[in-house]
Amino acid sequence: MTARTQVLDRAVGTAMSAVSAAAKRGLGDPALAELVVIRASQLNHCAFCLDMHLAVARKHGVSEQQLDLLAAWEEAEGVFDERERAALALTEAVTVLTDGFVPDEVYERAAKHFDEPRLAHLIALVVAINNWNRVMVTRRVAPGGYTP
């Protein structure tokens, strides 16, 4: 069996980092970006990404209450605003793809809160973190290696 500690080829890792950074910049809301990547990482069981992005979220001022209740955001009335809830619903739909597609109502809900460029960046961010989650989970990269 090959060692699973090597994360990625340098060129691939650089490209993935660039996509993630561009998507976050284009979304224009660092706190929301962290909620999105944390929720996807929860769904994908990526301990490394959770450890990393929880630290980053705190740095961007995401409340402990939001971080504590993110896994149950649908039931946490009043903790997440409608824009955040639309982004989280889209994050779950893109991450899980239970029916093989993103339901129209989920997409339309997000489109009400994000203009076309920001919606494109939101989708790109969800896709990017799903890529990172899959790499880190496949390689079994342990949490604790990230320093903000």
74-83 pLDDT tens trace: 999 999 999 9
> Which DSSP state fits 70?
G
pLDDT score of 1 more than 50: no
pLDDT tens-digit map of 16-29: 999 999 999 999 99
3-state SS, residue 116:
helix
pLDDT score of 3 more than 70: no
The reported pLDDT for the residue numbered 142 is 86
The reported pLDDT for the residue numbered 100 is 84
Which residue from 10, 17, 7 is spatially nearest to 128, judged by alpha carbons?
Answer: 17
Which residue from 53, 26, 41, 54 is spatially nearest to 114, judged by alpha carbons?
Answer: 26
Six-digit token pair at 13?
């890792």
Residue type, 29: D
Domains and CATH numbers, the chain: 10-139 (1.20.1290.10)
pTM of full prediction above 0.85: yes
Which pLDDT band holds residue 99 (cuts at 50, 70, 90)?
confident
Which residue from 95, 125, 119, 121 is spatially nearest to 107, judged by alpha carbons?
Answer: 119
